[in-house]
Amino acid sequence: MPDKHPEWPALIESLALRLQSHTPRRLDPEHSGRAAVLIPILPQGEEFCFLLTQRTHKVETHKGQISFPGGIHENSDHNLLETALRETWEEIGLARQAIHILGEFDEYLSITGLIVTPFAAWIGGPLKLAPNPDEVDAILKVPFNIFQDSRYLRVETRVRLGVERKLYFYDFQGKEVWGLTAQIIRDFLRLAEQK
């Protein structure tokens, strides 16, 4: 059940309702573990944006890539939502009080064999962040419209495990948002735009 907040913008209220009535896709392939990410949504003037991180070159995987805050589920986490919240705090210092959960989205299989569960969230109030320098090089606020405008999109076809797949690359100020993060955003915005 999503949190409730009396001052949510109409789009955010609508997203919470869509996620509530959406049955998240569940995956059951062989996997190397589970992970969870937060899809933080922020206001930016009259627009909305995603809060993304650019990973350092010190991290174990996906060095330098742009992604949502999140990581691998640990035994001490009661559930995957707690994983997403803990990892978000550890990576960028975003406190739980500022995070209003809108709902759970579809599961994805990462290239490293993890099943990844995203949780969408509205970030209200003043933004206080403290990025972990070992994990995060930069915090990016990327407007929704970057992912809705084909001028910023490049599509490549690649073969993985014998299957042809489309990979989406979005250009944001000379940085590329691609891979699993781009796929989650693309699918999530399709849900948001449904009539």
Taking only the tens place, the pLDDT of each residue in 41-95 is: 999 888 999 999 998 877 666 567 999 999 999 999 999 999 999 999 999 999 9
> What mean pLDDT comes out for the span 82-111?
94
Q: Does residue 93 come out as left (phi exceeding 0), alpha (psi in the -120 to 50 range) or beta?
A: left
Q: What is the pLDDT of residue 165?
A: 84
> Tokens 């109409």 map to which residue?
10
Q: Which of 8-12, 60-64, 132-136 has the lowest mean pLDDT?
A: 60-64
Alpha-carbon radius of gyration of the chain: 16
Q: What is the pLDDT of residue 1?
A: 45
User: What's the whole-number average pLDDT of the chain?
Assistant: 89
Residue 62's alpha-carbon distances to 57, 111, 157, 180, 188, in angstroms, are 8, 10, 20, 11, 22
Name the DSSP letter for residue 147.
G
> Tokens 């206001």 map to which residue?
43
> What mean pLDDT comes out for the span 18-46?
90
Pairing of strands 99-104, 108-109: unpaired
* Stated pTM of the model: 0.91
> What mean pLDDT comes out for the span 182-187?
96
Q: How many CB atoms are located within 10 Å of the residue 106 CB?
A: 18
Please indicate whether residue 63 or residue 126 has the higher confidence score (pLDDT): 126
Q: Where are the domains of the chain?
A: 10-148
Q: Which of 1-10, 52-61, 145-154 has the lowest mean pLDDT?
A: 1-10
Residue 184 in this model has a pLDDT that exceeds 60: yes
The percentage of the chain sitting over the pLDDT mark of 70, rounded to a whole number, equals: 93
Please state which CATH class domain 10-148 belongs to: alpha beta
Q: What is the pLDDT of residue 119?
A: 98
> What mean pLDDT comes out for the span 109-124?
91
The residues, ordered by sequence, that sit 6+ positions from 57 with a Cβ below 8 Å of its Cβ are 63, 64, 137
